[in-house]
Structure 1
């Protein structure tokens, strides 16, 4: 039916002309044309052709309000989709009953676009009872990713025991501490203790008790009266206590169900670089760090070419590998890895060859700054728009910089240190995309070449590197409010040419060269305590690599350590091409 015809039929309906039926809902009459409603609804088609006599004209409809029926009729005539937060649930249920597929899909889209911590549980339950598998999966994933907020909503206590178990047994459940899960189940039970206490022996083994801190476990689990009164729960608690006391949680290759790590919210990728194999050679190695398991997973695709001194950034579900070099070649090319499909794609090349480049993502675009082409250090910079697949020149820096490092902070790009082609640099500057201009800021306390720069908690950190005298383990922090640098605790290991990223609120430094050898060492900085601590080493010693953090993807399990009953932590991930 054309748009013009639809308007004509709707006008006839409103004027009650040529109508052949009246639908009555709660004493309100709707004059309609049978053929129009039959065209959009299997229910009405059956009602008019099989469940009644063709001569019938009066139909009374129950279990729906006049307002909802009006919306359904308007959709049938003119395709109107007046979906709002106030009517979407009732409208969705009615459309499911009347088989108004088009309007039901509109309701699903609306609910999917408006998922929140307050309504995600309600939408999950609704779409389980009224079939919409895509939205049901989206709502379930949303609850897992926002569990702390969702379990504080009024809808959480309405979960069935089956729904609660499905949530808390999922590896994808995102919580900073397992105590959140334990307190959530106590809250759920407390809503109806006489009925729900009987489920505690089913629920407790789904909580990863051995991942709790010992103090919390002793105070809140061992001494919980409800658990003390249940024999099965006492056995579960004793097992968890043994795991905590014996330290089996940290033993590589063993994951007892009570000690099985949840999937991380983010994964740290370490890509490319140089390895020492008699002499220094570029590598195509890719490893992923799973912070919850404290393990590295090999994701290397042997079909991808080696690159060192490249730039890597995560944007819109893809990882971009930009520029870099091998022993004989300098690249302007860019490779994009689609994390959802596990596939590599070639995208538009930069205008210049750039290795030792600084890179960051800001406002949906990728900025690559400085670097060198094997002969000259660059002061130039380029911006890549993934939507147009085009690179655009932006303003040049005040200095040429290779082996520098940059980060984005408060809508600007900050770059520090590096090598000008003639000298090591302590200078720093920032770029304002709004006016396409660079501005110098206070210089660092020392020259740093091959350093790492990240933003964390309203400040910018410059870490490690090399100067004229030595390899550096020192670090300093820049306060944009005062335009000044202050020293912070040095790293445990001096290094240059390493990867650096912020993961789970901590600064991670990965690999590099310590002045003697290429290292696999990884350490992290906790800005709350001001201390560096060791993490599990990469499996491959590398320098001149680049790191990025991947988050917000639905297939995080593809890039994390395996969560089976046992784990060979030296294996290659089976879900990825090798």
Structure 2
């Protein structure tokens, strides 16, 4: 007889169970795995089959098919599913059912389920026996319903993941209701975010009109709602209201409180105002009428909250109050255009770019043969257009003489008023309105190097000559702006360093290879200001800066007013600097990071290689954002319908100019300006 030893060596170690350790750990002599593992020592041996669970499930599935050892039947919609009670009891739902002393199913051989379809239950039962289930778009909702009722959390998660992967603007509202029904908060949030981010598309679906008052109010009031125009929001509210006006008229005020009526066009407000439900309520009608009258009377104030999140009078988050206005100029043809195009075709119109819709619109036709090199400025709802030329200065001449003409254009009514001619001819000059008076300065028609200045007083109906400043000389970098009761001239003093190529907004190290343009050193920034009431001049500058080389393309003066101080930037790039002019102290100091937070529009040439002309050519509006840091980022760009030169550019505010009083025609690519809402021949006074 074989006898076990009574003592064993003290250094015997028990190896760890695992695969891939030779025959001792479950490999055949030929080196192939047999999915068995065991621990061996002289005392005992432990065997583990790694596929035992799978083999057991397979055996149970085979028994189910052959009808062996089945001890319970589940009935669903008249179909019977014989199965093993022990398999059912492996789930939380059936374990509670089969073990409860208070339920008849505990000892019953037949279990009847209601509220789910038989096909979905069949798939879930197959999952219990195989661990596999196939979910697709045609069965996911039924399987989700059955799995939720039977408390199969893994299948519920799988269904929700499949639905979320296929979430889109056209099904998100339906998914939101489904997620709410089954209490799946993550899926509900994803579908809500989809609806908020794609509001315009969501409103086209049938589920939209079935939203409750509270759901629509929450959706319209969400601070992250993405709608390029508030008009879209109002149109959707009207659509929702028309679906069941009698049932919903009591809740419309709750929804209107979330609509930014100050950002809705007058024509849309008039449609809302005439709606029968609005007409029935004095409270509703008063609210809408007040918003419309504020537009027409020009009593709306520009939003003071730059972020525009909460206030009902501010644009929604991500929506800008900025508007880019382009006056006149001449269209430039591409170098290799096949069609015969006159590269000097005058625009002869005022157009604008809305950064939200990223479209250009025709505003009005110019009332003069003067086509370009004009100056434009704004005051409230008026645009002042002065000077300019009939033809561009191209070649050796002769060139058309600059103009003395001056006009005032009222945006909301689309009407022009001819002002008295200026005392001097001007072109490529600058203008600003201070204390209700129009000031024009500089230009390429100056007979001396000094900047001359003229003023139009509307009360007098005449031009007044203003004494200039001997130290203020003409410069292509001169910037003239209105600030408080002062007309401010900003002049960067530069020294030419050497000649280098045009490269746009690249680092100095990348400038060193080709097209010729001046590179300069910015020595100091000078501010000349005249108080228009006292006619007194003042002057401030920075110490000599002695900055490194600066590409001329990068040198561009930008201004804004913050806390009653004038903020001045020297460009849009990372190398540009910020300075702050304090009128009270009459000093100019260096600004710091985060001092300027604003969105800025700029007309630039993105594809200069396509055109023969380079100087002053633009084909794109770039949207810049100065954020928490002073470095700017380019957020977006809107291509012009055509390349343009000799134009005048103005950034203003929609709320100031009367943008919401007009319905403007959009321009398409290479489009001729269409007629405005008042026709091409606007009223001329």
TM-score (norm 1): 0.51
Instruction: Name the structure 1 match of 2:94.
Output: 44
Query: How far apart, in 2, do the equivalents of 1:39 and 1:447 lie?
Result: 81
1:107-126 maps to which residues of 2 (within 5 A)? 107-126=159-178
1:300-337 per-residue CA deviation (whole Å, 9 max, x = no partner) reads: xxxxxxxxxxxxxxxxxxxxxxxxxxxxxxxxxxxxxx
RMSD: 4.2
Q: Which of the residues 87, 91, 95 maps onto 2:139?
A: 87
- The structure that has the greater radius of gyration is 2
Query: How far apart, in 1, do the equivalents of 2:519 and 2:83 lie?
Result: 78
Deviation at 1:126, TM superposition (A): 0.9
Given that 2:520 and 2:552 are in contact with CA atoms closer than 8 Å, whether structure 1 keeps it comes out as: no
Instruction: Name the structure 1 match of 2:300.
Output: 247
Distance 1:233 1:522, change over 3 A: closer
Deviation at 1:16, TM superposition (A): 2.1
Is 2:609 the counterpart of 1:523? no
Instruction: Name the structure 1 match of 2:117.
Output: 65
Given that 1:419 and 1:449 are in contact with CA atoms closer than 8 Å, whether structure 2 keeps it comes out as: no
1:73-116 per-residue CA deviation (whole Å, 9 max, x = no partner) reads: 12222222311111111211221111111111111111111101
Q: Which of the residues 173, 177, 180 maps onto 2:232?
A: 180
Deviation at 1:258, TM superposition (A): 2.7
Distance 1:534 1:54, change over 3 A: closer
1:132-147 maps to which residues of 2 (within 5 A)? 132-147=184-199
Query: How far apart, in 1, do the equivalents of 2:315 and 2:61 lie?
Result: 59
Is 2:551 the counterpart of 1:498? no
Q: Which of the residues 177, 182, 196 maps onto 1:130?
A: 182
Is 2:512 the counterpart of 1:424? yes
Given that 2:223 and 2:309 are in contact with CA atoms closer than 8 Å, whether structure 1 keeps it comes out as: no
Given that 1:240 and 1:258 are in contact with CA atoms closer than 8 Å, whether structure 2 keeps it comes out as: no
Query: How far apart, in 2, do the equivalents of 1:74 and 1:402 lie?
Result: 72
Note the residue ranges of structure 2 that are not aligned, 5 or more in a row.
1-51, 321-354, 357-499, 522-547, 558-567, 580-587, 606-617, 637-685
Given that 2:197 and 2:225 are in contact with CA atoms closer than 8 Å, whether structure 1 keeps it comes out as: yes
Given that 2:262 and 2:300 are in contact with CA atoms closer than 8 Å, whether structure 1 keeps it comes out as: no
Deviation at 1:449, TM superposition (A): 10
Deviation at 1:230, TM superposition (A): 1.5
Instruction: Name the structure 2 match of 1:353.
Output: none
Instruction: Name the structure 1 match of 2:341.
Output: none
Paired residues in the alignment total: 342
Query: How far apart, in 2, do the equivalents of 1:141 and 1:445 lie?
Result: 50
1:429-478 per-residue CA deviation (whole Å, 9 max, x = no partner) reads: xxxxxxxxxxxxxxx7857899xxxxxxxxxxxxxx9877785559xxxx
Q: Which of the residues 309, 317, 325 maps onto 1:263?
A: 317
Instruction: Name the structure 2 match of 1:409.
Output: none
1:86-105 maps to which residues of 2 (within 5 A)? 86-105=138-157
Deviation at 1:173, TM superposition (A): 1.1
Note the residue ranges of structure 1 that are not aligned, 5 or more in a row.
267-290, 293-400, 406-415, 427-443, 451-464, 475-492, 500-509, 551-578
Distance 1:8 1:403, change over 3 A: farther
Query: How far apart, in 1, do the equivalents of 2:82 and 2:319 lie?
Result: 54
Query: How far apart, in 2, do the equivalents of 1:469 and 1:144 lie?
Result: 43
Instruction: Name the structure 1 match of 2:66.
Output: 15
Given that 2:93 and 2:150 are in contact with CA atoms closer than 8 Å, whether structure 1 keeps it comes out as: yes
Is 2:218 the counterpart of 1:166? yes
Distance 1:162 1:37, change over 3 A: farther
Instruction: Name the structure 1 match of 2:649.
Output: none
Distance 1:12 1:518, change over 3 A: farther
Deviation at 1:243, TM superposition (A): 5.8
Instruction: Name the structure 2 match of 1:337.
Output: none
Query: How far apart, in 2, do the equivalents of 1:122 and 1:247 lie?
Result: 39
Instruction: Name the structure 2 match of 1:354.
Output: none
Distance 1:225 1:21, change over 3 A: same
Deviation at 1:535, TM superposition (A): 8.3
Distance 1:80 1:536, change over 3 A: closer
Instruction: Name the structure 1 match of 2:82.
Output: 31
1:461-515 per-residue CA deviation (whole Å, 9 max, x = no partner) reads: xxxx9877785559xxxxxxxxxxxxxxxxxx9955715xxxxxxxxxx95589x
The residue matched to 1:29 in structure 2 has which SS? Answer: strand
Query: How far apart, in 1, do the equivalents of 2:237 and 2:177 lie?
Result: 18
Deviation at 1:3, TM superposition (A): 2.9
Query: How far apart, in 2, do the equivalents of 1:526 and 1:67 lie?
Result: 62
Query: How far apart, in 2, do the equivalents of 1:534 and 1:11 lie?
Result: 67
Given that 1:75 and 1:103 are in contact with CA atoms closer than 8 Å, whether structure 2 keeps it comes out as: no
Query: How far apart, in 2, do the equivalents of 1:258 and 1:238 lie?
Result: 16
Deviation at 1:64, TM superposition (A): 1.8
Distance 1:92 1:534, change over 3 A: closer
